[in-house]
C-alpha cells in the first residue's frame, strides 16, 4: 500500500488562506500507523489522541483513503511543562485494487482508529457468449 502526500502547490495555497482567517495557522501532524495483513483483508490502527467523533473525517476518493482528525483546542492554561500540543492529524494512503472499498469499516476507541479494509472478491472468470447469425 503506497502512501500519498498532499501536493506541494495545493498546500501552499491552503496555508496562506488559513493564515488570513485564523490567528494562528493550523498545524497538522502525520499520525503513527500500524498496518497488517490477514487473510480477510488489511487492518489499520491509527493513533489519534484527542480526536472525538465530530472531529474525525474518514473518506475514500479515487482510491485514496484520507484520515483527517481535528482536535478542539482547550482554553489557555498556565503550563509548567509542555511536551505536546493538541494538533490536527492528516494522512493519506493509496489503496490497491485488491481492497473492497464498499466494505471498509472503522471504529474509534480510546484515541485509536481501527480500520478494516476487506479484500475484494477475486474477479470471476466470465465466458462471453457469441451470437451466431
**Dihedral sign computed on CA atoms, order 66, 69, 70, 76:** negative
**Residue span 65-104 as binding mask against other proteins, x where in contact by CB under 8 A, dash where not:** ------------xxxxxxxx--x-----------------
Which cell numbers hold the place of 7?
501536493
User: Any contact of residue 35 with other proteins (CB under 8 A)?
Assistant: yes
Task: Compare residues 97 and 129 and give the one whose CB is closer to other proteins.
Answer: 97
User: Any contact of residue 33 with other proteins (CB under 8 A)?
Assistant: yes
Task: Identify the burial level of 105 via C-beta atoms within 10 angstroms of its C-beta, where 0-12 means exposed, 13-18 middle and 19 or more buried.
Answer: exposed
Residue among 128, 121, 97, 124 at smallest CA distance from 40: 121
Residues 26 and 70: their CA atoms lie apart, in Å, by 10
Task: Compare residues 72 and 105 and give the one whose CB is closer to other proteins.
Answer: 72
Place of cell 464498499: 102
Residues 100 and 121: their CA atoms lie apart, in Å, by 8
Task: Specify the stretch interacting with other proteins by CB under 8 A; choose among 16-24, 38-46, 98-106, 123-131.
Answer: 38-46
Rounded to the nearest whole angstrom, what is the least distance from the CB of residue 52 to other proteins in the complex? 6
Of these, 42, 65, 67, 117, which contacts other proteins (CB under 8 A)? 42
Residues found near other proteins in the complex (CB under 8 A): 1, 3, 5, 8, 11-12, 15, 27-38, 42, 45, 47-52, 77-84, 87, 109-112
Amino acid at each position: 500500500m503506497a502512501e500519498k502526500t498532499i501536493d506541494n502547490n495545493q498546500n501552499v495555497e491552503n496555508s496562506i488562506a488559513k493564515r488570513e482567517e485564523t490567528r494562528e495557522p493550523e498545524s497538522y501532524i502525520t499520525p503513527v500507523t500500524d498496518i497488517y495483513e490477514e487473510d480477510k483483508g488489511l487492518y489499520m490502527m491509527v493513533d489519534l489522541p484527542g480526536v472525538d467523533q465530530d472531529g474525525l473525517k474518514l473518506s475514500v476518493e479515487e482510491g485514496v483513503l484520507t484520515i483527517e482528525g481535528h482536535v478542539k483546542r482547550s482554553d489557555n492554561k498556565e503550563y509548567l511543562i509542555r511536551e505536546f500540543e493538541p494538533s490536527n492529524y492528516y494522512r493519506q494512503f493509496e489503496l490497491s485494487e485488491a481492497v473492497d472499498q464498499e466494505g471498509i469499516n472503522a471504529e474509534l476507541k480510546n484515541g485509536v482508529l481501527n480500520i478494516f479494509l476487506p479484500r475484494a472478491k477475486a474477479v470471476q472468470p466470465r465466458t462471453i457468449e457469441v451470437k451466431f447469425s
